[in-house]
A and B are shown apart, each in its own frame.
Chain A
Amino acid sequence: MSKKKVHLFKETKLAELIAGDRKLLQLLPRFGIGLGFGDRSIEEVCRMNNVSADLFLILCEIYVDSGFKPDPDELKRIDMSGLLPYLRASHQYYLDERFPHLEEHLQRIIEACGPKYGPMLSHFYEEYKKEVMRHIKFYEEEVVFPYIEALLKGQHTDSYRIDEFEHNHTNIQDVLDDMMNILLKYLPGDILPKERIEISLDIMELSDDLNRHSVIEDHILIPYVESLENALP
């Protein structure tokens, strides 16, 4: 486990921040920050990309320290306009890149399992995928986010309130962990072991990522939307 601590200051060079914790690299595309940032500081790079450095740092903090919970008072001082685009970009990354990647590996394992175990594994994954799509795509992207966007435009709707938010990521992570246990512990050992190790490493990474993603939604997005709701006339 690499738990090298990074100190998160705006004056730190972006490259140093990433050298301290490589997980942070995956945040850049979600913020629309391109590569080639040279030796610029976090603050400079954020300014060049129209990203709030405070928001960027607080999300980095969540990725660096699994126990970190942002301070609600501090959140009130942060420009949140980049939050929704960030979350949408994360969703897109999960749905368009991570899950298809996982599926590709899994498909080979399913084929190698033959008729005895293949269909049930395939069924297990398909059900899981449906659940992921239902939550991320059909719920968050199509119900919650449009609601927030309407709020931001000052539009008042009675159809939804953020306190109804479904915290469904736990379930999404549980099944992902189950998938890893099945692949490592319970499928017969001789079926594509290399592939299974590789996919398990990917699953651990994704599970970690989703875990931070739900911290962001629960501890940043929800308080933010609550404050928007309270500001309505």
Chain B
Amino acid sequence: MRNRVIICEASEIIANGLAEVIDSMAQFDVVARIESPEHLNEKITASDANLAIINPLLLGYQNKEFINQLGKEFPNLAIIALETSYLDHSILSPYSGVIEITDTRSKIISKMNEFSQSEATKKDDVELSKREVDVLVAVAKGMMNKEIADLMNISIHTVISHRKNITRKTGIKSVSGLTVYALLNNLIDESDLL
């Protein structure tokens, strides 16, 4: 899966320079750049980012609380600090990594790879779980979330979270695409589709 990066930095020179290095990497796209953290949450949702690079100076006193809150709201988001001037360890501790302004291009590249991998290992396997396969089969047969929830005796919320994981693992978003996926993997056959 490609990494989608959001950069939150006030200096255009720094933000653009960093974006240029990141965009030059095959697995990374800078999907959004913002100058202040004001609309960060909305931007993350809208751009579906999985990596946020934030200058802690923009957060001031609220730094720690803000980052912890962000981590809670987006459990799959890697939050990286962009250190443009010396910052105390306590300020950097809520972040899962730090990019320093003095880092060279190759240093930034190797750090970015590291951040994205630690993110991948945090997430479970790429294989679909038994439960996810059950949900996938039901979706492929054309069932609605409510019907699936009733059938499997789980909440709609759980069905939705399974569906999100299925999409993340397979890379397929649409119902018709999931049906083809299920057929190709012999999870269902044509006769199920009537």
Contacts and interface: CB of A to CB of B under 8 A. Distances in A.
Please say whether chains A and B are actual partners in one complex. Answer: yes
A187 B173 contact: no
A185 B185 CA distance: 12
B181 interface: yes
Contacts, number: 56
A216 B172 CA distance: 26
B171 interface: yes
Interface in B173-190: 173-174, 176-177, 179-181, 183-185, 190
Interface stretch (A172-180, A192-200, A225-233): A172-180
A33 B52 CA distance: 41
- Dominant secondary structure of chain A at its interface with chain B: helix
A175 B177 CA distance: 7
- Residue in A1, A120, A127, A177 with the greatest tally of chain B CB atoms within 10 Å: A120
Contacts of A181: 170-172, 177
B128 to A, nearest CB: 13
A182 B177 CA distance: 8
Nearest to A172: B174
A127 B170 contact: no
A200 to B, nearest CB: 13
B33 interface: yes
B137 to A, nearest CB: 15
Contacts of B172: 178, 181-182
A121 B180 contact: yes
A179 B33 contact: no
B32 A67 contact: yes
Contacts of B183: 117, 120
Nearest to A175: B174
Contacts of A3: 20, 23
Given A181-B171, A185-B171, A128 B180 contact: no
B181 A186 contact: yes
Contacts of A128: 176
A1 B24 contact: yes
A61 to B, nearest CB: 15
A124 B184 contact: no
Interface in B27-53: 30-33
A14 B30 CA distance: 28
Contact of A120 (B31, B174, B190): B190
Nearest to A182: B180
A175 B30 CA distance: 23
Interface in A85-138: 117, 119-121, 124, 127-128
B136 to A, nearest CB: 13
A1 B23 contact: yes
A103 B20 CA distance: 36
A181 B181 CA distance: 10
Contacts of A178: 171-174, 176-177, 180
A174 B175 CA distance: 10
Interface string A1-28: 1010000000000000000000000000
A148 B98 CA distance: 51
Interface in B151-174: 170-174
A49 interface: no
Contact of B177 (A1, A179, A187): A179
A212 B173 CA distance: 20
A152 to B, nearest CB: 32
B31 A67 contact: yes
A168 interface: no
Contact of A171 (B30, B31, B174, B180): B174
Nearest to A121: B180
Interface of A: 1, 3, 67, 117, 119-121, 124, 127-128, 171, 174-175, 177-179, 181-182, 185-187
Given A174-B177, A178-B180, 5 more contacts: A1-B23, A67-B32, A174-B173, A179-B177, A186-B181
